[in-house]
Amino acid sequence: MVRQPLTAEQIAAGQRLGTALRAARGRRSLVEVALAAGISPETLRKIEAGRLSAPAFGTVVGLSQALDVPLDDLADVWLAALPVHQAS
Mean pLDDT by 10 residues, the chain (88 residues): 86 94 96 98 97 94 97 92 51
* Torsion of Cα atoms, 29 then 23 then 73 then 35, to 10°: -10
Query: pTM, whole model, 2 decimals?
Result: 0.86
Contact 21, 71 (CB under 8 A): no
Among candidate residues 7, 9, 5, the one with its CA nearest the CA of residue 82: 9
The whole-number pLDDT of residue 3 equals 80
Question: What is the pLDDT at residue 86?
Answer: 40
The pLDDT value recorded for residue 13 is: 93
